[in-house]
Amino acid sequence: MTEANDEFVDVSLTSASPETKLAVDAVFGDAAELADQYVRHLSTTGIEWGLLGPREVPRLWERHVLNCAVVEELIPQGALVADVGSGAGLPGLALAIARPESQFILIEPLERRVAWIDMVVDDLGLTNVDVVRARSEQVAGNLDVDIVTARAVSALKSLLPLTIPLLSGSGELLAIKGRSAPDEVVSAQKALKKYGCGQPEVLQAGADVLVEATTIVRVPVG
């Protein structure tokens, strides 16, 4: 249980709605307990450390953790994934919990956020996560990953310079977006050409488990 705005909000999986429990089972399977631990961290230390606002607590599962974790269906088995601008581990940590056989590099410049992610990774015992404190521009040239993910970092046009170089010529950007996705693709045409990207697709993930599916812009390279 946690306290937000003087109201108790029990975020634990045992108190979740039947729909949320089904979605958590479908997406996380055997890792549901780890996902529950992550959500408990978000609702306690995440709020205390100022990584997210207390108003987010009642919607942590649906709007944040499940919304991000369903992107796993677009990630090939065993892929090396970089998550740019992870903040409180979204989508990077949610995906790392859902996909223990894949390796995740979480790139985040802010010290407090990195310290919090490190603490959660230790507490959950995740062995498939590396956390790098840097702006993504600083690590471009040193990384060659299969997939880059990002949520709420910037509009697609300005996200491309932060993400595409990490693919070193081949792979995919999976950018979690909202309803603006088609417009962002139109606005990014010049940058897409500049960075050698193929034509992006706007996709939905989690349509069979979430009330509102997650919208993703998939940008191929190479």
Ligand X SMILES: C[S@@+](CC[C@H](N)C(=O)[O-])C[C@H]1O[C@@H](n2cnc3c(N)ncnc32)[C@H](O)[C@@H]1O
Output the 3-class SS for 110-157. CHHHHHHHHHHHHHHCCCCEEEECCCHHHHCCCCCCCEEEEECCCCHH
Collapse the DSSP code of 49 into the 3-class scheme (helix H, G, I; strand E, B; otherwise coil) and give the result.
coil
Kindly identify the residues of this chain, within the stretch 155-174, that bind ligand X according to CB under 6 A: 162
Q: Residue 60 or residue 197: which is nearer to ligand X going by CB?
A: 60
> Does 135 count as an annotated binding residue?
no
75 within 8 A of 147, measured Cβ to Cβ: yes
Encoded one letter per residue, x for contact with ligand X by CB under 6 A and - for no contact, window 41-80 reads ----------------------------------------
Q: What is the Cα–Cα distance from 67 to 218, expressed in whole angstroms? A: 16
Instruction: Kindly give the pairing relationship between strand 214-221 and strand 201-205.
Output: antiparallel
The span of 2-10, 41-49, 105-113, 183-191 binding ligand X (CB under 6 A) equals: 105-113
Q: Which residue from 113, 121, 160, 171 is in contact with ligand X, where contact means CB under 6 A?
A: 113
Q: How far is the CB of 59 from ligand X (least distance, A)?
A: 12
**Positions that interact with ligand X (CB under 6 A):** 84-88, 90, 107-110, 113, 135-137, 151-153, 162
